[in-house]
Structure 1
Amino acid sequence: MGRQRQPEIRDRILDACVDHALVHGLPERLEPFAVAAGTSTRMLIYHFKTRDALLRETLGRARRRQRDYFGDLLAPRPGEPYPVTLRRAWHAMTGPAGRPFLSMFGRLREDAGEKLWPGFRRESTTDWLRPMAEGMRSIGRPELGTLVLAVIRGLILDLESTGDVERVNQAFEDFLATLGDVR
Structure 2
Amino acid sequence: MGRHKQPEIRGRILDACVDHALAHGLPDRLEPFATASGTSTRMLIYHFGTRDALLRETLERARQRQRDLFGELLSPRADEPYPDTLRRAWRVMTGPDGRPYLSMFGKLREEAEQQLWPDFRRTATTDWLRPLEDGMRSIGRPELGTLVLAVIRGLIMDLEATGETSRTGEAFDVFLATLTTAGR
Q: TM-score, normalised by structure 1?
A: 0.97
Q: Which amino acid aligns with 2:43?
A: M
Please list, as runs of the form range in 1=range in 2, the aligned pairs for 1:11-90 lying within 5 A after superposition: 11-90=11-90
Following the alignment from structure 1 to structure 2, what is the Cα–Cα distance between the partners of residues 167 and 112? 28
1:87: how far off?
0.2
Which residue is equivalent to 2:3?
3
Identity %: 76
Task: For 1:31 and 1:158, locate their aligned partners in 2 and report how far apart those are by CA, in whole Å.
Answer: 33
Aligned to 1:168: 168
Q: Counterpart amino acid of 1:128? A: W
Residues of 2 paired with 1:111 and 1:174: CA distance? 31
Gaps of 5+ in 1: none
On the 8 A contact 1:70/1:89 being kept in 2, the answer is: yes
**SS of alignment partner, residue 115 of structure 1:** coil
Inter-partner Cα distance in structure 1 for 2:80 and 2:161? 32
Matched to 1:146, the amino acid is: T
Matched, 1:126 2:98: no
CA RMSD after TM alignment = 1.1
Shift of 1:127: 1.1
Q: Hey, what does 2:148 align to over in structure 1? A: 148
- Aligned counterparts of 1:16 and 1:113: Cα–Cα separation in 2: 26
Shift of 1:113: 6.1
Mapped partners of 1:10, 1:120: distance in 2: 24
Question: TM-score, normalized by length of structure 2?
Answer: 0.97
Unaligned stretches of 5+ residues in structure 2: none
Which of structure 1's runs of 4+ aligned residues deviate more than 2 A? 110-113
